[in-house]
Amino acid sequence: MQATAVPHPAPSPLTSARRPLAGFADVLFSEFWKLRSVRSTRWTLVAAVAANVVLAALAAVFLPSRLSAQDMASVDPIRLSLAGLHLSQIAIGVLGVLTITSEYGTGMIRTTLTAVPRRRAMLAAKTLAFAATALLAGVVACFAAYFAFQAFVSRGPLVSSIGDPGIVRAVAGGGVYLAVLGLLGLGLGAVLRSSAGAIATLFGLLFVPVILLDLLPHTWRTTIGPYLPMNAGDAIYSLHPEAGGLNAAGGLGVLGLYAAAALVLGFTVIKHRDA
């Protein structure tokens, strides 16, 4: 007896549209598109680049005449040219938080989780999409700031070339710092699910320990200080390590651990919470 094959009807477009996104690549593309389509993303990235470039030019014009010969000999020209990072880090940190908390605030997270029931896959896609965007914007902003600084600076010790030893590493390190800081914000946003709470926590971690450190004995400051998030981040884009401080790799490792801890906690709690 010969079996007869019964053809299965092709799924209708409506049925296909209601299916969850099948592959991680689709989820990742979706998160890239959402991040790109939000107007605040564009304005935040523009603000980060503009802050870097404008402050670099201002630093090159006004600071050299106010530095003594001793200061000129000891100042780190890359950290000086990237003075705008203190503003652009706020923009990137807030963007990292809003990448996840904005959906909780508007209730769109329910739609997202309906399309992608695998919550950790969704969060992983958000993390990768944000990390790539923040890294690209950060590196562009830092190199633009470096070239702006060199275009306006006129005094010898502060003048350098992009081909000089360590310059590319230090300038690119500024972009890496911004991306890792943004990931810390995203992790805190995933844990707290509140824009205000996560932003306050992020900048509390950055600024409050540095302020409190001044109240501690000197030996404590030198022991604890290099491992604070902001000090560790500063080491990533320093041309030369400070005495008693971390080198670039150590700074990246310490700041990366803060970001990784926040993200791991976010990946843990997102599985066990209602949207």
Closest by CA to 48, choosing from 164, 151, 109, 136, is 136
Neighbours of 34 (CB within 10 A): 18
Q: Show me where the domains of the chain are located.
A: 23-269
| pLDDT, mean over the chain | 88
Label residue 236 by pLDDT band (50, 70, 90). very high
User: Which pLDDT does position 18 carry in this prediction?
Assistant: 45
Closest by CA to 20, choosing from 110, 118, 100, is 118
- Give pLDDT tens digits for 200-221: 999 999 999 999 998 888 888 8
User: Which pLDDT does position 64 carry in this prediction?
Assistant: 81
Closest by CA to 92, choosing from 174, 179, 173, is 179
- φ/ψ of residue 258, rounded to 5: -60, -50
Residue 5 predicted with pLDDT over 50: no
